[in-house]
Amino acid sequence: MVKTTSIFFISFVSILGVLIMVDIVEASSPILNFSDITSGPKTGNTDGIGSGAIVTIWGNYLGSAQGSSKIYVGDVEATAVYYWKNADGQLPGGPADLYTYHKMQEITFAIPSSAPNGETTIKVVVGGINSTTLPFTVRAGNIYFVKSTGNDTTGNGSWENAWANLSNALSGDGKISAGDVIYSVGVGSMSDVNIGSTTAQVGTLSDPYSVICYPNISCSATNGNTANFRNWNGANRYWNFSKFSLATDYQAFSIFQGSRIIGNNVTGPTINSGYSGWVGGGCAGNVSDNCGGHRIYGNEVHDYGAVDGSVDQFQHLFYISNRSGSVAEGFEIAWNNLHDNPIYQGIHIYDQELCGGWSGSINIHHNVVKNQGGNAININFGCVSNPTTINVYNNLTITDTYYNLPGLSAPAAALRVDASSDTVVNIVNNTFSGWASANSVGSGFLTYENNIFLGNRNVAYVSGTPDIYDNNLFYDVVGSPAVPAWAEYSESPRLINYVPELESPVIDSGSDTIVTYSVTDMIGGPHISGNIDIGAIQYVSSEITVRSDVNNSSVTNTTDALLTLRNSLGLSMDGTAWQVGATTGDVDCSGTSNSTDALLILRYSLGLSMGGTSWCE
């Protein structure tokens, strides 16, 4: 036993020169943000890998690989995991980059056959720590596949005998029913998929239709002057679309009552005119129940709009409208990466004339809007006598100083608010970095709390004063525009990549208002009452309780052993991922971390038995 230990130690010392250096990671518990579908069957998957519906979840602090982490549906482990990775927009994952700014991971797995029926939850266990949960309902339904090698005449939609064409499958000719899930397996260059062109396909909240790109496959679509996925005659309800790569000349998606548009990648570099957006449309006629309840999560939309200055004032990035005269269900735009879009106006909330208004609230949160033509977030809500609440929180807008396009593609304000007197708008814990014209604080009942306004062009901060304001910071990195009288702070926020430094004045300087909207910041860090920072991203101390996983990677491996040995030899840990803490590397619970702990971690990482050792984790 002594001889083996000596060999281990000599081998350790001989490879000190190849110690792996990685960035320091801020500590937090695993967080689940959203999933592509929220219900589905636990059997019927014929791909030979999983039993039930294939589900993708997105979250933070889940680890860049599965390692020893697990995922559960109810209390049943899902063992059919297709991939577990950073959500960087690369295969085998989906096409939306939600890692660059949001620092998310994504996991795709199949619902196990032994999962409990009915309402349950999805959770992930990382390093022995339970994540937050997402709701999921295990229910009846069919699972179908569409492949380029399939056959629409002889196929039955199974993996081995797939259909060939999405348009035929989704047209309403009786092939599918509400509650079914259809996976596209690499069917490329689709054009104008008309949903319900034969017969309306009306799903429900509990039994929606779902169209999803299969794992480790790129599903591309192009279109003419309509939509990649079109709600034919506005008659179809409750449709989910996820992980498609879409190039459009007008819309990527029509609006569907109760739709989930999740994790897609959309571009449209030739668009210069129209009356819509990459997702858009209005309530048909005087009926409001065909256009509300959208959930638009985790999409990457980029290069939407022509760069030559020819875009007009009616085509926007988002354009969802209710002019039916009756109230529709509010909608949610969240966790999207929206960048380099020359089209006029970004997240555009606009209504006029015969407004219906929205029940509940419209929630705009955890989005990144970078280098947008017009206003990054534009709330111009001219409806009277239809009270609506709009909540804008945990968003990051960025306008780089080099971004200057002609015409209506030119940058304007980071945020414009000009609403009717009975519209309530809450602007909380956002970071607005750069703008080319003053941010409008107009009409409506407006609350501004815990926001950072970080200018970079020596342009006026704001015009107007909100009804309620508290703990807002204003600072310009190149000039000294007049600070508004309602500013609480007017010093540098001291941010690195929009994250507060240790000595930043924004730390613990915010009010608790944000806790009523969200328990996490833009990158999944915790919002803790009494310790709220100003801005979209919280400072999180790197001091955490860890033992064997000394770099907080969610996996204990030889890297952890090497880092523990390095620390035990008194070498500098600067620039490594070593997590400073009282228990870090102390796997025998002796109160200190030393070379014995390094050897124990190595032994564990090699899969050797820890029986009879002093391993205490």
Segment-wise mean pLDDT, segments of 10 residues, the chain, 617 residues: 38 40 48 98 98 98 93 98 97 98 97 98 93 98 96 95 91 92 83 87 96 96 81 90 94 92 96 89 63 94 94 92 85 98 95 80 97 96 78 98 95 94 94 97 95 97 97 97 97 95 95 96 94 94 67 83 90 77 80 88 87 82
Strand partners, 120: 136
DSSP code for 58 = E
Pairing assessment for the beta strands 415-419 and 495-496 based on DSSP bridges = unpaired
Which pLDDT belongs to residue 385? 63
All CATH 2.60.40.10 domain ranges of the chain, comma separated, are: 31-138
The phi and psi torsions of 8 (rounded to 5 degrees) equal -60, -45
- Enumerate residues 6+ apart whose C-beta is below 8 A from 574: none
Which one-letter amino acid corresponds to residue 611? G
Pairwise CA distance, residues 358 & 353, whole Å? 15
The HSE-up count of residue 120 (CA atoms within 13 Å, CB side) is 21
Which pLDDT belongs to residue 103? 96
Which pLDDT belongs to residue 15? 41
Question: Is the C-alpha dihedral spanning 57, 63, 65, 68 positive or negative?
Answer: negative
579 CB neighbour count, 10 Å cutoff? 24
C-alpha pair distances (Å), 523 with each of 65, 81, 505, 537: 18, 24, 20, 7
Which pLDDT belongs to residue 513? 97
Which pLDDT belongs to residue 387? 78
For residues 49 and 145, is the Cβ–Cβ distance under 8 A?
no
Pairwise CA distance, residues 589 & 250, whole Å? 62
**Domain 31-138 falls under CATH 3.30.70.920:** no
Which pLDDT belongs to residue 19? 35
Length of the chain equals: 617
Which pLDDT belongs to residue 188? 60
Structure-block tokens of residue 425: 């708008």
Pairwise CA distance, residues 519 & 517, whole Å? 7
Q: Is 234 helix (H, G, I), strand (E, B) or coil?
A: helix
Q: Is 10 helix (H, G, I), strand (E, B) or coil?
A: helix
Question: Is the C-alpha dihedral spanning 554, 558, 561, 566 positive or negative?
Answer: negative
Structure-block tokens of residue 557: 């491996």
For residues 416 and 379, is the Cβ–Cβ distance under 8 A?
yes
For residues 455 and 435, is the Cβ–Cβ distance under 8 A?
yes
For residues 212 and 36, is the Cβ–Cβ distance under 8 A?
yes
- Enumerate residues 6+ apart whose C-beta is below 8 A from 51: 42, 43, 45, 80, 110, 111, 112, 113
- Residue 438: which region, alpha, beta or left (left: phi > 0; alpha: psi -120 to 50)? beta
* Block residue for tokens 């636990």: 42
Q: Give the relative orientation of helices 595-605 and 558-568 as an angle to the nearest 10 degrees.
A: 170
